[in-house]
Chains A and B, each alone.
Chain A
Amino acid sequence: MAHTDTTGACITCTDASIKRGNKLIWSEGTFTIPRGSVTAIVGTNGAGKTTLMKAELGLIPLATGSMEVLGKPAGQMNSHIGYVPQTYTTEVDSSLTAEQSVLLGLTGTRFGIHIVTKAQKRKAYEAMEFIGIADKAKMRLSELSGGLRQRVAIAQALVSDPELLMLDEPLANLDLVSQRATVHILAKLNRELHMTIQAVAHDLNMLLPILTGAVYLLDGHPHYANLNKVLDSRLLTHLYGTNVQVVTTPQGDMFVKPTSDRLPNVSQHTHKAEELAFLHNTGTTPKGQA
């Protein structure tokens, strides 16, 4: 697994907008996402989160503006991007094994006759080992749970040594254990391989511990902000159109929740941006403020 350049911009968006037919999906997208970051694309249903990700992959053309990904116009560096769509949620009748699915990440784009080499198989095994599914290599996708199928998809993305990993709703329809496992894997990829990670998410809570920032689609415009800014209750309230509070438990875990239903036995208070940034970096509450 090659170590990648962690300095500079990963995604740069300048006055970008996207139209589907005559309908403007979003506009005035101007932001820079640094390399080595872990970002979420957040916003309400239909705000254009997946559209943004597809634009970054060059699959949807921009109506105006420009978008650079890994230093080139969107779409040109896709061989350096790992993409994990939300397909793991659909029931598969696939007889394919996990190993073959991962191998397709290496061999699937090649025309002509190619025998799978030992080196390619080793590479696929390493990717599965890293994701913690090496023992499932010979199992069929149809025999695996949604959570495991998603990890196969991540291994498939990982096998070509991407610099940027893009995931569409990586936590949707997963049970709590699988959600945690996925978050741990993303953290490990970011920490050990310095991979830049971007995930479309409609629920921030599970991702909060590892996020460094977020692209939020607000009022028809995408913005990027570091974590401390995006976790402002007022901003989140505006973003989701319902009252939202940022809450910490006595253990120091924080989560985002609507204000109406109060949890018993949990002390709730909203945080200032600086306080959250501190929490995020140290995992403890700053002295004198708890």
Chain B
Amino acid sequence: MSSLSYDPNWTQTLTTSFMTRAFIAGLCIAVAAGIIGYFTIARQSTFAAHALAHIGLPGATGAVLLGLPVSFGMGAFALGGALVIAGLGKRASQREIATGTVLAFATGLGLYFARLSSSASQQFQSILFGSILTISPNQIVGFIVFDVILLAIMAVVYRPMLFSSLDEQVAQAKGVPITLMNVLFMAILAGVITITVPAVGTLLIFALVVTPAATANMMTASPFASMVTAMVICLISIWGGLILATMFPAPPSFAIVTLSTLFWIIMKIVEAVRNR
């Protein structure tokens, strides 16, 4: 493949079944990432989000080694890591050195597991950088189930979760169970990361979970509106990225992350001009 070429048959490619699955997966990911992204920023846990993806890496490659589904190992390790971070308290998610050290070690361990078998080695790159075009029908079902559960939980805990994220001390004094909220948040974050990794991989996940939420925060001030806006930005990034990567053959992850970053930069400039 040359540097940048145009595929004249791109509309046909878009109608294939793997493309349809990629679009549906993108929708599921956008809904989940839009919600959790807002809370991740409000709780100042963005680095923890980045770290959880890496903590999931040895789980993912280890699962391949054992012949288990990638998402299963990824989810188990991310959830385990999330619960440990939650157990250490909310401040722990802000402890950058400890988190960074653990994520580096986890990435190394992931590499080690990947080199132990040829099948894990083959999947290593797609776990790191995503492969949204190879998502299976079973994974789609899993994504939809996850989104339904997430929306159901959010319908119940939305306001206390918001209060504890934005004003933890006051929320605690007012009787909000902040420990439960913290554990729940971390567990949901682990879940969102697990379903987002197949799209963009562990290395680029920040751009889908955190960046759209940050862009949305600049566009609107209401938490609910911000979550919906983040979903839309995330969706445009994924769908737009898929279309662009089909028109001009390129890795979809690259196109998705580029769009997400582009929206963020545009809003940063708009904000800078607005505040001048």
What's the nearest-Cβ distance from chain A to residue B44, in Å? 8
Please encode chain B, from 213 to 224, with 1 for each CB lying within 8 Å of some chain A CB and 0 for all others: 000011011110
B contacts with A, residue count (CB < 8 A): 27
Contact B173 A96 (CB under 8 A): no
Contacts of A220 in B (CB 8 A): none
- Residues of A60-106 whose CB lies within 8 A of B: 78-79, 81, 83-85, 87, 93-97, 100-101, 104-105
A95 and B160 contacting across the interface, CB-CB below 8 Å: no
Q: Are B158 and A113 in contact (CB under 8 A)?
A: yes
Q: Which of B169, B173, B174, B175 has the most CB of A within 10 A?
A: B173
Task: Decide if B175 touches A108 in the complex (CB within 8 Å).
Answer: no
- Give the contacting residue for A96; candidates B174, B176, B221; CB below 8 A: B221
A107 at the interface (CB under 8 A from B): yes
A81 touches B163 (CB 8 A): no
Supposing A97-B221, A111-B157 touch, asked if A81 and B173 sit within 8 A by C-beta, the answer is: yes
**B166 interface residue, CB < 8 Å from A?**
yes
**Does residue B156 face the partner (Cβ distance < 8 Å to A)?**
yes
Q: In the bound complex, how far is the Cα of B223 from the Cα of A107, in angstroms?
A: 13
Q: How far is the CB of A196 from chain B (nearest CB, A)?
A: 16
Size class of the A contact interface (CB-based, 8 Å): 20 to 34
A101, A108, A113, A138: the one contacting B174 at CB < 8 Å is A108
With contact pairs A96-B166, A96-B221, A100-B223 given, residues A109 and B173 touching in the complex (Cβ less than 8 Å): no
- Contacts known (A95-B226, A111-B157); A57 close to B218, Cβ less than 8 A: no
B230 to chain A, nearest CB (A): 11
- CB within 8 Å of B: which of A135-153? 138, 140, 153
Q: Are A109 and B174 within 8 A (Cβ)?
A: yes
Give CA–CA (A67, B125) in the complex, Å: 60
The verdict on B170 contacting chain A, using a C-beta distance below 8 Å, is: yes
In the complex, A24 has a CB within 8 A of chain B: no
B155 near A83 (CB under 8 angstroms)? no
Kindly list chain A residues whose C-beta atoms are within 8 Å of the C-beta of B217: 95
Choice from A84, A100, A104 contacting B221 with Cβ under 8 Å: A100
Q: Are A100 and B222 in contact (CB under 8 A)?
A: yes
**Cross-chain contact of A112 among B155, B169, B170, B222 (Cβ < 8 A):** B155
Provided the pairs A95-B218, A113-B155, A113-B158 are in contact, do residues A108 and B163 lie with their beta carbons within 8 angstroms? yes
Question: A83 and B170: CB pair below 8 A?
Answer: yes
B159 touches A107 (CB 8 A): yes
For A122-160 the 0/1 string (1 means CB < 8 A from B) is 000000000000000010100000000000010011000
Which of B159, B171, B223, B226 has its CB near the most chain A CB atoms (within 10 A)? B159
Instruction: Please report the C-alpha to C-alpha distance between residue A51 and residue B162 in the assembled complex, in whole angstroms.
Output: 26
Additional A-B contacts beyond A83-B169, A111-B159, A111-B160 (10; CB < 8 A):
A57-B173, A78-B174, A79-B175, A84-B170, A95-B226, A96-B166, A97-B221, A108-B162, A108-B167, A112-B156
Q: Pick the 10 closest A-B CB pairs, nearest first.
A: A108-B163, A95-B217, A85-B169, A83-B173, A97-B221, A57-B173, A109-B174, A104-B163, A110-B159, A95-B221
Q: List 8 A-B contacts (CB under 8 A).
A: A83-B170, A95-B226, A104-B166, A108-B159, A108-B167, A111-B159, A113-B155, A157-B170
